[in-house]
């Protein structure tokens, strides 16, 4: 509402309300033009690569080609049911669920430990924070290159040192029962330091005098953690869980570099499945259907983060 607008306008012209509404709308629209011009560059790119892309996924999921060269034809929900019936896809979903649980929980637990231990600012703890944060900065591809050697059978870092203690070791990336857990280790190593930052920020909100009072009342470290720190960190937990879960779906470059989804599909995750359908099998219909299903599955989660973010951003 601009100040130039007389407050009595609505009463004075009540005889022709529709005309008045229209006129007010056009005045406001005209007054809004500069804002629209400023937003235009952003909106063009958002329209092309975010909303347009969403619409395209919806449409592409409904069409199929008989052969890569044949014209597209409308197939309705056939792509979706084909994807759901594809054991490679359901396998990827199961793998991704295991992967999400197996990376989110340990990395958040470690992040909390790190943050609790390093919450005081001094030279030692900031050096340790930096050490734990280093993996966050490097590309997943570089982490994969390092871990490829760490997991190398016989001569690799892990076998070289642990092999002295345990005589029989699995082929970390070559054994279908072990490979998924091996790539989880990389994700935990890479992300724990990132989540630590949010817990460090959250811990700032825990009042020191309350902690001291609790101690004087006889509360030990565990009691203080359980009854003061954890309740105070609840928003942080929610937020970090959302990010960690999104990362479990989207941040899977190491699968591309290290395992290609193998051995025997044991590390095939949803995003890799989508990539395979689109790039290796040229099946855009199926890739779009899988994208659509994944987006839908993340909807509930993102709605949660949406609320958290809207709160953080303080609304429009």
Partner 1 sequence: MKLFDRLFRDAPLATRGEITPKLGFLLTVLLAIVWLIPFLWMVVATLRPASDGINAMAELMPSLKPTLDNVRDAWEIGDFPRYTLNTTIICAGILLVQFVTITLAGFAFARLDFLGKTPIFYLFLMQLMLVPVLLIVPNLSLVAQLGLYDTLTGVMMPFFASAFGTFLMRQAFEAIPTELEDAALIDGASLLQRIRHIYVPLSMPSFSAFAIISVTSHWNDFLWPLMVINSPDKRPLTVGLSVFTKTAEGTQAWGTIAAGTLMVIAPLLVTFLIFQKRFISSFVTSGIK
Interface residue with partner 1 among 215, 226, 234, 281 (CB under 8 A) is: 215
162 binds partner 1 (CB under 8 A): no
Q: Of residues 18, 120, 166, 280, which one binds partner 1 by CB under 8 A?
A: 120
* β-bridge mates for residue 74, sequence order: 63
Among 97, 113, 227, 281, binds partner 1 (CB under 8 A): 113
Q: How far is the CB of 12 from partner 1 (least distance, A)?
A: 22
Is the backbone of residue 154 left (phi > 0), alpha (psi -120 to 50) or beta? left
- Asked if residue 232 binds partner 1 (CB under 8 A), the reply is no
* Residue that is written with structure tokens 């509930």 in the block: 300
- The nearest distance, CB 221 to partner 1, in angstroms, is 4
Asked if 274 and 208 touch (Cβ cutoff 8 Å), the reply is no
Which of the residues 3 through 62 are near partner 1 (CB under 8 A)?
A: 25, 28-29, 31-32, 34-36, 38-39, 41-46, 48-54, 56-57, 60
Binding of partner 1 at residue 2 (CB under 8 A)? yes
Nearer residue to partner 1 within complex by CB, 15 or 314: 314
Backbone angles phi, psi at 99, to 5 degrees: -60, -40
Pick the stretch among 15-23, 83-91, 109-117, 167-175 that binds partner 1 (CB under 8 A). Answer: 109-117
Among positions 238-267, residues that touch partner 1 (CB under 8 A) are 239, 243, 246, 249-251, 253, 256-257
Tokens of 309: 């973010």
Asked whether 114 and 169 are in contact (CB, 8 A), the reply is: no
Q: Under the criterion CB under 8 A, does residue 310 sit at the interface with partner 1?
A: yes
User: Which residue's CB is nearer to partner 1, number 16 or number 309?
Assistant: 309
- H-only helix segments in the chain: 9-12, 17-46, 52-60, 78-85, 87-117, 123-137, 140-150, 157-162, 179-203, 208-216, 221-224, 230-232, 234-250, 253-254, 270-275, 284-313
Looking at the Cβ atoms of 15 and 74, the one nearer to partner 1 is 74
Chain centroid to CA 270: 13
Q: Decide: is 201 part of the binding site for partner 1 (CB under 8 A).
A: yes
Q: Least Å distance between CB 187 and partner 1?
A: 13
**112-to-125, 189, 202, 212 alpha-carbon distances in Å:** 15, 14, 10, 20
282 binds partner 1 (CB under 8 A): no
The CA distances from residue 115 to 100, 110, 111, 232, 268, in Å, are 22, 8, 6, 14, 33
Q: Per rule CB under 8 A, is residue 223 in the interface with partner 1?
A: no
One residue of 66, 155, 165, 168 binding partner 1 per CB under 8 A: 155
Kindly indicate which of the ranges 94-102, 131-139, 226-234, 261-269 contains the residues binding partner 1, using the contact rule CB under 8 A. 131-139
Backbone Cα Rg of the chain:
27
Q: Are 266 and 180 in contact (CB under 8 A)?
A: yes
């Amino acid at each position: 509402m601009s100040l130039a607008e007389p407050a009595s306008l609505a009463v004075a012209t009540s005889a022709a309300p529709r005309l008045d509404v229209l006129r007010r709308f056009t005045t406001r629209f005209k007054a809004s033009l500069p804002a629209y011009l400023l937003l235009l560059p952003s909106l063009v790119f958002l329209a092309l690569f975010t909303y347009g892309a969403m619409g395209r996924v919806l449409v592409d999921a409904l069409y199929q080609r008989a052969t890569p060269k044949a014209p597209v034809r409308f197939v309705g929900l056939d792509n979706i049911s084909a994807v759901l019936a594809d054991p490679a896809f359901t396998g990827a979903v199961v793998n991704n669920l295991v992967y999400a649980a197996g990376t989110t929980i340990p990395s958040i637990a470690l992040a909390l430990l790190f943050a609790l231990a390093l919450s005081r600012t001094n030279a030692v703890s900031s050096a340790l924070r930096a050490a734990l944060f280093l993996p966050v900065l490097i590309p997943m591809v570089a982490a994969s290159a390092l871990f490829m050697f760490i997991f190398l059978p016989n001569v690799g870092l892990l076998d070289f040192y642990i092999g002295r203690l345990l005589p029989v070791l699995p082929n970390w990336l070559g054994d279908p029962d072990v490979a998924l857990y091996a790539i989880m280790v990389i994700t935990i190593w890479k992300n724990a330091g990132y989540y630590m930052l949010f817990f460090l920020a959250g811990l700032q909100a825990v009042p020191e005098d309350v902690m001291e009072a609790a101690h004087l009342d006889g509360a030990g470290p565990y009691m203080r953690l359980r009854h003061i720190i954890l309740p105070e960190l609840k928003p942080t937990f929610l937020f970090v869980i959302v990010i960690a879960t999104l990362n479990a779906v989207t941040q899977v470059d190491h699968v591309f570099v290290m395992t290609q989804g193998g051995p025997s599909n044991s590390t095939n995750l949803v995003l890799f499945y989508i990539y395979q359908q689109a790039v290796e099998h040229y099946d855009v219909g199926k890739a779009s259907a899988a994208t659509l299903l994944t987006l839908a599955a993340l909807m509930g989660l993102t709605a949660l983060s949406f609320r958290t973010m809207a709160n953080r951003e303080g609304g429009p």
